[in-house]
Amino acid sequence: MGIASRREAETWISEGRISINGRKITEQGTKIIPGVDKVEINGKAVAAEPPPRVYWMLHKPDEVLTTRQDDFQRTTIYDLPMLKNLPFLIAPVGRLDYRTEGLLLLTNDGELANRLCHPKFKVPRFYHVLVNTRLSADEEAAIKNGVKLDDGMTLRTQLSYAEGKNLGASKGSWYRITVFEGRNRLVRRLFEHFNHKVVKLIRVGFGDIVLPEDLKPGEYTQLKSDQIKQLKDLTGLT
């Protein structure tokens, strides 16, 4: 129905969040008859006619989860005013963790979202990182060339020192880093691997899309047609 990627739909089914004709579904691959069966997600009916394709850019605030529900009642992106009462479902392209802010793409184009997150396309993600101490030359080289983490060797990155910053009693350092994979908490883990604490982490770009300076945390904007085309070109959809 164009409301989620296949991976997300499978997760919803396993969590018992989807029902057909009033009965919760837990079996993957369950089929429906469009226009006949009534499908609900989290108790909300899914329209028989698919909604129009939506491509948005959200400036995710700090201390907000990229998830639909949280057991600890923390704020999620779906608690933000612009997402709270949507008449259709929209999903994030990948995730930003609780303490990471910045550019988060949102769409109901499941195929594009899946491709943008797929490792084979190596879509670049651009971040600004503030750490409590400056990296050594050897540490910078290691992050650029690949680091062995608990889930395997990382791909090469692009890393550059930007400037120093006063952190009260200590002095921190801003870095620019570009990664080409979407592992969980990857940027934080790269710096933490060398015992550097990440003080602030902002995603400023995804593929060819750049976070506008005037887009405030919690606000969103629709992608322009050329931006959508750029994302599709990156993943071979055009």
* Weakest-pLDDT range from 2-6, 138-142, 159-163, 164-168: 2-6
Q: Tell me which architecture the domain covering 1-50 has in CATH.
A: Roll (3.10)
Contact 179, 156 (CB under 8 A): no
Q: Do domains 1-50 and 124-206 have the same CATH topology?
A: no
pTM for the model: 0.80
**Residue 212's pLDDT is what?**
96
- Distance CA(113)–CA(105), nearest Å, equals 9
- Distance CA(195)–CA(204), nearest Å, equals 24
What are the sequence ranges of the domains in the chain?
A: 1-50, 124-206
Give the mean model confidence (pLDDT) for residues 28-37.
67
Q: What is the pLDDT of residues 96-115, one digit of tens each?
A: 999 999 999 999 999 999 99
**Residue 6's pLDDT is what?**
67
Whether residue 233 lies in the annotated active site: no
**Residue 26's pLDDT is what?**
77
* Partners of residue 171 on adjacent β-strands: 166
What CATH number should be reported for the domain whose range is 124-206? 3.30.70.1560
**Residue 37's pLDDT is what?**
67
Q: What is the pLDDT of residues 166-214, one digit of tens each?
A: 877 778 999 999 999 999 999 999 999 999 999 999 999 999 999 999 9
**Residue 167's pLDDT is what?**
76
Burial class, 53, CB count within 10 angstroms (exposed 0-12 / middle 13-18 / buried 19+): exposed
Q: Which of 37, 97, 109, 226 is catalytic?
A: 97
